[in-house]
Structure 1
């Protein structure tokens, strides 16, 4: 059984059909990139998986159990972590305290955090930071970090509830090319180690074709193609869809 199954989900806003009968699946330990030109329905599809939007019809299944239309907090507790296009961290707290806040949330103690965050499961927080290479900066405030390091902290926070599935919304936005590749290589390594599925949206084709195991392409709210990076790069329909927006699917060297 697939870790994540998307079955014929659709979403309309008034008379605009943003997503139409989209289906795909994701296996444990796999990275699946969801791509498409602007307005293709990527964000709408992504937000239906994460609970920010409820589909008009269709189903979202996690390990065979429906999470369709559940609120984001409930989906988080079902084993789904998430990072955002603009990193969501507490700038005034230290790196370790940010991860400890995520652990408090995972333990359902978020409303009684003060002044306990600095003491709550610090050993576990440091272990998560070690996974993302941020232990040396554990006691620095997030406000003092470079943006690439903030993204690593956010990744550690998303791993706090030991998710089965990680959703990454434009994870490399605003990052330099080297940082982009390093972050997604890190996500791929952690996914393999934990047997955690990763669904991510991304505009950087070097990240998509260099790091994803499979790629799903949306155009005008419909699934145009799905396959390995090599298959997608060679697909004439995908080439036409991207060339029509001025984007080129370059071959990795």
Structure 2
């Protein structure tokens, strides 16, 4: 059964169409990337799926359930996790406490936060940190971490909601090349093992072509191509959309020839 079905989404701002009749599906365990030039409508579509924006038209279905009007909080409870372009963590808290806060929220225990949270869901938080390779830093303040490690903590926070669908907005922004590959390899392994569908936006073509199973290309709010990374790389309309740069969509270094 299809996990996510986006049907005919449209959104305008001040008479300017940011998204026009955008439709796609995502299966369990699949990595799907949305790419496009600046101003293509990627963020608009992404935020309509995440609930930060309400579409003017169209529907968003999760496991067949209409969540078009659901708040981000409700989507979290229904199994939608999210990471952000700029990692969202509480820098004054420890690594484990950040994950514990997400677990407390999932269990709807936030009303009981008058008591110390350090003991709440501690074991489960450490287990999640082990999955992302950050258990050894559980008691370190997030403010002391390298940025690549903060991104791993943010992934653990997203996983705390037991997501069916994981939304990743520019997941490797600000990271070194090796860190980018490691984070996306980790995400792909977790998604495959647990059947989590991953929808992500990304400017780094190495990340897109190295990890996405399918790619959607938006230009001026419209879908101009959908297909495998190799299909997208060879599509003449996609090449033209990237300002005629014949190198912008080349195969990442180290990948086998098609």
Asked whether the two chains share a fold, i.e. TM above 0.5, the reply is yes
User: What is the distance in 1 between the residues matched to 2:230 and 2:44?
Assistant: 26
TM-superposition CA deviations, 1:69-128 (whole Å, max 9, x none): 211101111100000011000101110010000001101122432443211111110110
User: What is the distance in 1 between the residues matched to 2:43 and 2:61?
Assistant: 18
2:132 is equivalent to residue 132 of structure 1: yes
More off after superposition, 237-246 vs 29-38: 237-246
2:182 is equivalent to residue 186 of structure 1: no
CA RMSD of aligned residues (A): 1.2
Contiguous gaps of at least 5 residues in structure 1: none
1:163 maps to 163
Is the 2:32–2:215 contact (alpha carbons within 8 Å) kept by the matching residues of 1? Answer: yes
User: What is the distance in 2 between the residues matched to 1:245 and 1:18?
Assistant: 24
TM-superposition CA deviations, 1:130-162 (whole Å, max 9, x none): 000000100100000000000000000000010
Give the number of equivalent residue pairs: 253
2:99 is equivalent to residue 113 of structure 1: no
Question: Could you say what secondary structure the match of 2:40 adopts?
Answer: coil
1:64 maps to 64
TM-superposition CA deviations, 1:7-51 (whole Å, max 9, x none): 000000111000000000000000000000000000000000000
TM-superposition CA deviations, 1:46-76 (whole Å, max 9, x none): 0000000011111000001100021110111
Question: Could you say what secondary structure the match of 1:60 adopts?
Answer: strand
User: What is the distance in 1 between the residues matched to 2:79 and 2:11?
Assistant: 24
Shift of 1:245: 7.2
User: What is the distance in 2 between the residues matched to 1:85 and 1:114?
Assistant: 31
2:66 is equivalent to residue 73 of structure 1: no
Contiguous gaps of at least 5 residues in structure 2: none
Is the 1:185–1:211 contact (alpha carbons within 8 Å) kept by the matching residues of 2? Answer: yes
Question: Could you say what secondary structure the match of 1:21 adopts?
Answer: strand
More off after superposition, 105-114 vs 171-180: 105-114
User: What is the distance in 1 between the residues matched to 2:92 and 2:77?
Assistant: 26
2:21 maps to 21
User: What is the distance in 1 between the residues matched to 2:247 and 2:17?
Assistant: 24
Question: Could you say what secondary structure the match of 2:156 adopts?
Answer: helix
Is the 1:36–1:218 contact (alpha carbons within 8 Å) kept by the matching residues of 2? Answer: yes
User: What is the distance in 2 between the residues matched to 1:84 and 1:63?
Assistant: 23
User: What is the distance in 2 between the residues matched to 1:115 and 1:91?
Assistant: 21
User: What is the distance in 1 between the residues matched to 2:180 and 2:111?
Assistant: 34
How high is the TM-score relative to the length of structure 2? 0.96
User: What is the distance in 2 between the residues matched to 1:223 and 1:51?
Assistant: 20
2:48 is equivalent to residue 48 of structure 1: yes
